[in-house]
């Protein structure tokens, strides 16, 4: 817990505790470096150590500390001096870990390896230490629930969207209020996170549990505890982790018991329904939990109990809600900060109004129960799509991607580099997203960046578009021309895994992006058409792209206030 306490102290600007923590961390790093020489897999001598002179085999304390206090510089070094040059490099990460960062030229090779050679879930298990926080590695390594989620998200998602839309709008109205005369001040991050939590919980567990404030708070708290446990346990070498885990999981156990009290009545009712209707799904509740229970009934009946399903649901919430709250908070903040220069809000309102007007004469989709929220219609919201993708470019929460663990002996990369069994490999991503050689004015948030890029191939020159009025004068031509024959896909679309590495790539790319696409566009369309929203004048200074690192993650800024007022009809 020393390292986590340290970061909490530094993050809260407690300089005295931070200074003491730095000293303790320095001593720990020195001790752990000695341990790593004995217990860690040996890497090939030709593999360079980032931040160190050629030939050196052990990271200095200064380089190790850089991961904690200046990881942005460390990863820029990886990108500029190694990845861009087609070279792998060894990087110090949490605790005693030394990980191989492959160059982007090796991505095709990495993705071609089967999971028995390079394991994604095995790597996640090491990163999250689920065996210590939830009591068993099966919640990460036994992936039947992930398969259920993937099927829903890629095959059946539209049938789940109308309840999500209803819940999101209900949450917005409840938290932002109905006052049309006076501005209300709200914490931007906490408000948006609560909205996303409630709407996402509707998808996962259904109503009315998704509206229970105590349940929502407990769910976020439990995930926070899992992340804390991952950092604390992962900081230490393998032989010490069971001991550290005994101390760090106590709070997680307490939060899990709280969640079990919320889930048990729901689960007992669902279990009874399944027993009474083992093959008839006609009256099944329409949420992810019910799909998980049905799949468990068929393939893992031993998991149909409250403690096990509580942990399964929590893992689903980690994927569908936790990081989405960060992304949506950044999205709203970027829209508000860019509005004075780009008329971003006006553009989004006009696009939403245009789509709704065009859909007004359409029949209600029998699958979704909606005229608007279908894949085909949502794909036409290209302005919102561009703002969303630009937000992920400048404010990505994870800063590297494609993490895998070597599962076999004798593995060599496409360049011939031998990789020891058990090693973690990945590729750095965030420095690529703000590289001036790849992006014009990369530190500037341009809400129309990807709209311009996606229309270059269509012959539309949007290079000088900087206002909502100018954009919307062209929007009809752009979207109609781009969607003829259903050709509404672009490598610059939000859902694309090209160019950016936010969602991974290949057959294991994140299926949750399909739900996030709808959630973000629903949020934008309702929030800005029903409310006037602006930033408070006494907010912290505007943050530039690439700022806000805490170790290797980029968190939304704290203390940002937004002012909201219901728009008059």
**pLDDT(2) > 60:** no
Q: What is the pLDDT of residues 284-314, one digit of tens each?
A: 999 999 999 999 999 999 999 999 999 999 9
Higher-confidence residue of 65 and 368: namely 65
Total-model pTM:
0.87
Q: What span, in angstroms and rounded, lies between the C-alpha atoms of 227 and 203? A: 23
How do the residues of the chain divide into helix, strand and coil, expressed in percent and rounded to 5?
60, 10, 35
pLDDT category at 6 given cuts 50, 70, 90 is very low
Q: What span, in angstroms and rounded, lies between the C-alpha atoms of 178 and 337? A: 24
Give the model's pLDDT for residue 460. 55
Mean pLDDT of 23-34: 52
Instruction: Write out the DSSP string of 410-453.
Output: SEE-TT--EE-TT-EEEEE-HHHHT-TTTSSSTTS--TTHHHHH
Q: What is the mean pLDDT of the chain?
A: 85
pLDDT category at 543 given cuts 50, 70, 90 is confident
pLDDT category at 144 given cuts 50, 70, 90 is very high
Mean pLDDT of 482-505: 63
CATH class name, domain 140-402+429-566: mainly alpha
**pLDDT(560) > 50:** yes
328 annotated among ligand-binding-site residues? no
Confirm if 329 and 192 have CB atoms less than 8 A apart: yes
**pLDDT(545) > 90:** no
What percentage of the chain exceeds 70 in pLDDT? 84
pLDDT category at 29 given cuts 50, 70, 90 is low
**pLDDT(9) > 70:** no
Give the model's pLDDT for residue 329. 95
C-beta atoms surrounding 340 within 10 Å: 11
C-beta atoms surrounding 31 within 10 Å: 11
Domain boundaries, the chain: 140-402+429-566
Give the model's pLDDT for residue 455. 79
pLDDT category at 371 given cuts 50, 70, 90 is low
Higher-confidence residue of 174 and 550: namely 174
| CA distance to 149, 253, 294, 326, per residue, from 205 (Å) | 13, 21, 14, 21
C-beta atoms surrounding 212 within 10 Å: 16
Q: What span, in angstroms and rounded, lies between the C-alpha atoms of 130 and 142? A: 12
Q: What span, in angstroms and rounded, lies between the C-alpha atoms of 555 and 85? A: 29
Residue 448: alpha-carbon gap to chain centroid? 22
**pLDDT(473) > 60:** no
Cα angle 206, 208, 210 (rounded to 5 degrees) comes to 60
What percentage of the chain exceeds 90 in pLDDT? 62
Q: What is the pLDDT of residues 436-470, one digit of tens each?
A: 999 999 999 999 999 999 877 665 555 555 544 44
Residues 6+ apart with CB under 8 A from 562: 185, 186, 188, 191, 332, 336, 533, 534, 535, 536
Q: What span, in angstroms and rounded, lies between the C-alpha atoms of 210 and 212? A: 6
Give the model's pLDDT for residue 112. 94
Q: What span, in angstroms and rounded, lies between the C-alpha atoms of 140 and 121? A: 6
pLDDT category at 554 given cuts 50, 70, 90 is confident
Give the model's pLDDT for residue 549. 86
Residue 398: alpha-carbon gap to chain centroid? 7
**pLDDT(499) > 80:** no
Q: What is the pLDDT of residues 83-139, one digit of tens each?
A: 999 999 999 999 989 999 999 999 999 999 999 999 999 999 999 999 999 999 999
Higher-confidence residue of 433 and 39: namely 433
Q: Report which of 368, 409, 380 is spatially closest to residue 484, judged by C-alpha positions.
A: 380
Lowest mean pLDDT among 79-83, 365-369, 385-389: 365-369
The sheet that has 531-535: what strands, in order across it? 184-187, 561-566, 531-535
The label of the residue with tokens 């309702």 reads 526
Confirm if 512 and 397 have CB atoms less than 8 A apart: no
C-beta atoms surrounding 419 within 10 Å: 25
Confirm if 92 and 420 have CB atoms less than 8 A apart: no
Higher-confidence residue of 186 and 500: namely 186
Q: What span, in angstroms and rounded, lies between the C-alpha atoms of 394 and 257? A: 38
Q: Report which of 559, 459, 338, 420 is spatially closest to residue 39, judged by C-alpha positions.
A: 420
Give the model's pLDDT for residue 7. 40
């Amino acid at each position: 817990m020393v390292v986590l306490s340290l970061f909490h102290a530094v993050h809260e600007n407690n300089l005295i505790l931070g200074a003491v923590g730095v000293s303790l961390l320095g001593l720990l790093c020195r001790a752990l470096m000695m341990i790593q020489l004995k217990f860690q897999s040996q890497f090939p001598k030709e593999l360079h150590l980032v931040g160190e002179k050629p030939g050196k085999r052990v990271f200095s304390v200064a380089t190790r500390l850089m991961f904690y206090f200046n990881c942005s510089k460390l990863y820029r070094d990886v990108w500029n001096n190694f990845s861009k040059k087609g070279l792998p490099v060894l990087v110090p990460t949490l605790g005693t870990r030394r990980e191989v960062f492959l160059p982007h030229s090796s991505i095709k090779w990495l993705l071609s390896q089967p999971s028995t050679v390079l394991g994604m879930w095995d790597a996640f298990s090491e990163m999250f230490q689920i065996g210590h926080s939830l009591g068993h590695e099966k919640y990460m390594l036994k992936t039947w629930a992930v398969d259920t989620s993937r099927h829903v998200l890629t095959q059946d998602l539209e049938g789940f969207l109308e309840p999500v839309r209803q819940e999101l709008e209900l949450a917005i109205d409840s938290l932002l209020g109905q006052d049309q005369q006076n501005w209300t001040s709200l914490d931007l991050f906490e408000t948006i996170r609560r909205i996303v939590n409630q709407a996402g919980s509707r998808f996962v567990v259904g109503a009315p549990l998704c509206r229970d404030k105590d349940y929502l708070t407990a769910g976020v708290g439990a995930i926070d505890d899992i992340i804390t446990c991952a950092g604390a346990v992962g900081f230490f070498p393998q032989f010490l982790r069971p001991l550290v885990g005994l101390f760090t999981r106590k709070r997680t156990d307490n939060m899990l018991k709280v969640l079990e009290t919320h889930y048990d009545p729901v689960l007992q009712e669902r279990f009874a329904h399944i027993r009474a209707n083992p093959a008839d799904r006609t009256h099944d509740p329409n949420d992810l939990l019910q799909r998980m229970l049905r799949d468990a009934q068929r393939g893992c009946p031993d998991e149909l109990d409250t403690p096990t399903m509580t942990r399964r649901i929590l893992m689903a919430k980690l994927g569908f809600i936790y990081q989405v709250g960060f992304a949506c908070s950044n999205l709203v903040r970027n829209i508000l900060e860019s509005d004075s220069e780009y008329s971003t809000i006006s553009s989004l309102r006009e696009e939403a109004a245009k789509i709704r007007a065009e859909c007004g004469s359409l029949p209600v989709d029998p699958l979704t129960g909606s005229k608007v929220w279908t894949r085909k219609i949502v794909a036409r919201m290209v302005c919102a799509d561009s703002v969303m993708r630009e937000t992920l470019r400048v404010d990505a929460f994870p800063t590297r991607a494609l993490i895998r663990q070597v599962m076999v002996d004798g593995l060599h990369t496409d360049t011939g580099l031998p990789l020891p069994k058990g090693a973690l490999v990945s590729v750095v991503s965030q420095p690529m997203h703000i590289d001036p050689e790849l992006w014009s004015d990369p530190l500037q948030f341009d809400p129309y960046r990807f709209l311009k890029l996606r229309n270059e191939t269509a012959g539309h020159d949007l290079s000088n578009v900087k206002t909502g009025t100018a954009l919307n004068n062209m929007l009809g031509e752009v979207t109609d021309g781009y969607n003829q024959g259903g050709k509404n896909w672009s490598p610059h679309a939000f859902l694309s895994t090209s160019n950016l590495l936010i969602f991974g790539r290949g057959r294991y790319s994140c299926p949750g992006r399909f739900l996030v696409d709808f959630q973000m566009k629903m949020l934008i369309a309702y929030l800005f058409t029903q409310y006037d929203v602006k930033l408070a004048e006494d907010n912290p200074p505007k943050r530039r792209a690439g700022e806000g690192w805490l170790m290797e993650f980029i968190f939304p800024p704290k203390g940002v206030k937004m002012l909201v007022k219901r728009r008059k009809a």
